[in-house]
């Protein structure tokens, strides 16, 4: 009896034929490629702010190791904060749609509200903007990281980078590590957030894909209100106007290319040795 008509096995070479080890290897290679591109982009940013020579002498050790290709920054930071709380809910103050006079605040929280991450966005007065990240633990202790001024070009690039499915995005001023900064590691839309202060204190949290999208869309509307954000993807308040547990559609998935204006040679050597300081 012929089984050709009922044979539903995948043809040779189909993705389902790949052994698990090969899938893991391909995933790691892709992640390494994206990370190397991020490293090269950051190298250009450091040249623009004049920090390309001082990074190996004044930057925090993990940053020195990352730019030298000695460590995987994602792995290094995740090991430091193994049990970082997961931010799965958000509420806004004032309510979305309310006219703003001074600043807007998004308060991200974990399931039991034991940990809060507040993002304060003052209304922009002039060409630059600032952000303030506050991590509150058990309503008893808070660490505040104020980033400012954030240039318009840096804000636009950061929004673009955060809309990727995978990558590392630094949100920092032209003072780099000499002022507070935040590192976002995005993997399949899921994000880990690390905040650092030159005074020696640090904080971390994790964000679900929905929370990442809400934060990026919210900041995009505040920073660039004339950009015409798609109303279908904008965060909407609930009837009570306070707590928001979104079921928003994901942002259209990019093809893992870099931010507009950054053209990378697919055949270029993206290893750490190709970086010049």
Q: Could you read off the pLDDT of 195-215 as tens digits, one per residue?
A: 999 999 999 999 999 999 999
pLDDT at 259: 38
Tell whether 222 is covered by a domain.
yes
Signed CA dihedral, 152, 158, 162, 165: sign only = positive
pLDDT at 100: 72
pLDDT at 38: 87
Say how many C-beta atoms besides its own lie within 10 A of residue 139's C-beta: 10
pLDDT over 80 at 22, yes or no: no
Tell whether 163 is covered by a domain.
yes
Residues in Cβ contact with 195 at an 8 Å cutoff, skipping those fewer than 6 apart: 133, 135, 143, 145, 180, 181, 182, 183, 202, 203, 204
Tell whether 14 is covered by a domain.
no
Considering only residues 102 and 171, tell me which one the structure prediction assigns the higher pLDDT. Answer: 171
Tell whether 19 is covered by a domain.
no
Tell whether 252 is covered by a domain.
no
Residue 39 binned pLDDT confidence (cut-offs 50, 70, 90): confident
pLDDT, one tens digit per residue, over 129-153 is 899 999 999 999 999 999 999 999 9
Q: Characterize 179-213 residue by residue with b for buried, 16 or more Cβ atoms within 10 angstroms of its Cβ, and e for exposed.
A: bbbbbbbbbebbbbbbbbbeeeeebbbbbbbbbbb
Average pLDDT over residues 247-257: 38
Model's pTM, two decimal places? Answer: 0.73
Residue 36 binned pLDDT confidence (cut-offs 50, 70, 90): confident
Which structural domain range is residue 82 located in?
A: 25-245
Look at the chain and report how many structural domains it folds into.
1
Q: What are the tokens at 92?
A: 């806004």
């Amino acid at each position: 009896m012929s089984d050709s008509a009922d044979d539903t096995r995948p043809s040779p070479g189909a993705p389902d034929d790949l052994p698990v080890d090969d899938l893991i290897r391909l995933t790691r290679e892709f992640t390494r490629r994206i990370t190397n591109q991020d490293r090269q982009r950051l190298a250009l940013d450091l040249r623009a702010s004049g920090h390309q020579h001082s990074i190996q002498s004044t930057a925090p050790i993990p940053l020195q190791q990352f730019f030298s290709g000695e460590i995987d920054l994602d792995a290094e930071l995740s090991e430091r904060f193994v049990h970082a709380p997961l931010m799965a809910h958000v509420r806004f103050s004032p309510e979305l749609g309310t006219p703003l006079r001074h600043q807007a605040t998004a308060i991200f929280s974990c399931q039991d509200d034991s940990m809060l991450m507040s993002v304060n966005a003052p209304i922009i007065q002039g060409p630059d903007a600032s952000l303030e990240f506050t991590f509150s633990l058990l309503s008893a202790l808070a660490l505040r990281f104020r980033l400012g001024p954030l240039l318009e070009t840096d804000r636009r690039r950061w929004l673009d980078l955060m809309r990727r499915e995978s990558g590392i995005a630094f949100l920092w001023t032209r003072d780099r590590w000499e002022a507070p900064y935040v590192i976002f590691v995005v993997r399949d839309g899921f994000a880990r957030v690390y905040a650092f202060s030159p005074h020696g204190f640090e904080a971390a949290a994790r964000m679900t894909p929905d929370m990442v999208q809400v934060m990026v869309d919210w900041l995009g509307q505040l920073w660039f209100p004339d950009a015409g954000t798609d109303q279908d993807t904008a965060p909407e308040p609930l009837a009570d106007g306070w707590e928001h547990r979104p079921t928003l559609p994901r942002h259209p998935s990019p093809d893992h290319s870099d931010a507009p204006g950054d053209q990378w040679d697919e055949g270029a050597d993206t290893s750490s040795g190709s970086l010049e300081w």
